[in-house]
Amino acid sequence: MKKIVLIEDDHLLSENLAELLTENGYEVIPATNGKEGIKIVKSQIPDLVISDVVLPGSSGLEVKRTLNKDPLVSTIPFIFLSARSDIQDVRKGMELGADDYVIKPFTNEQLLSSIKIRLNKNEIFKKHNKELTKSIAFSLPHEFNNPLISILGYSEIIEDTCEKNKLENAEELIKYSRIINAAGKELLGLIKRFLLVIKLETIFSDPEEINKYNENGAKFSMSSYIKNFISKLSVEKYENRVIIQDNAENSLLKISEEDFEIVVSELIDNAFKFGIKNTEIFITESVEDKFYCLLIKNYGRGMTREQIAQIGLFQQFEREKYEQRGSGIGLVIAKKLVELNKGYLRIESLLKAETNVYIYIPLKEKLNEKHFIS
């Protein structure tokens, strides 16, 4: 059953439309003002939104403008209901990305036809998008992995041969083979991350996929997990330069262990990449209301408010001043995974001083009243 959010302050019209849509097989969730409508759309992830242009508080235009800023709901089909005197506003709404408008007074058939057309169009879009994504996801790994496997394999053969046979210039050949191997592994990791972004973008473009993702009930208990995981990561990759300052144990999180590890790994990697060389990063855990909070702090170049606001896919600021390689993809992956799990990511930064990245993950339940363990 398709889910429709109806934002209409005229109670009689709202009741009549809700009855009409219900009789035609739709699930209807009503809202009487723009602010309430925005909240419902973000929590319910409907298949379509119908909104009056003129509403108390936030107008229909403001509703659409606000939804456009949230990737979880920005692509949901949107229909305006408008009086003839609102035509200029409707044009503004169409410029914001609304899919259609129905002028009052309208017949039942006009509204139902508009809804059907928009839903069918969106289904076609989602189908093509899925097919394209599957095609990319299936072909790219093979296209990239096959030559990479050869590069990695032969670099290891060169190194082994030099070591076993003590060839002339062996040390130099071993050095080159290790450089080749390291570059191959780096490229392989980058490919996997790009494919993950493609997967996340596909889910974000489809409300049904978002709901499926959240309905799987993924969760895991923190206990001493974070300390063990980060300690292992610190030893293997970062020369013991990750400092855990506090623990928030006995928390059951609404996120899979796999997603959580990806988020934390990407943020720690990002903190080291853009922090001062050979310094530590600091991690603090806490429980705030119904959320588990993880703070990752690094000291380095920092970011301006404008740069934080412009964080987007594959964006790296002031690259000409810094030597670090990177596509800017890590922060995007972390942000999207956190949002997909109904959490959020926040950044505070002082330019040329420090950056604090906070992630908030919903708690499944509180296992123990004692959340902070020093």
Q: What is the pLDDT of residues 236-280, one digit of tens each?
A: 666 667 777 766 666 788 888 889 989 998 998 888 887 787 788
CA 194 to chain centre: 13
C-alpha distances in angstroms, 300 versus 202, 235, 269? 34, 22, 14
pLDDT > 90 in the chain, percent: 30
C-alpha distances in angstroms, 76 versus 64, 67, 210, 217, 343? 10, 9, 12, 24, 20
Return the residue matching tokens 């108390």.
56
pTM, entire model: 0.60
- pLDDT, one tens digit per residue, over 55-79 is 998 899 999 999 998 888 988 999 9
- Topology at the third CATH level for domain 216-366: Heat Shock Protein 90 (3.30.565)
pLDDT at 159: 79
Domain coordinates in residue numbering, the chain = 3-106, 126-213, 216-366
Q: Which CATH superfamily is domain 3-106 in?
A: Response regulator (3.40.50.2300)
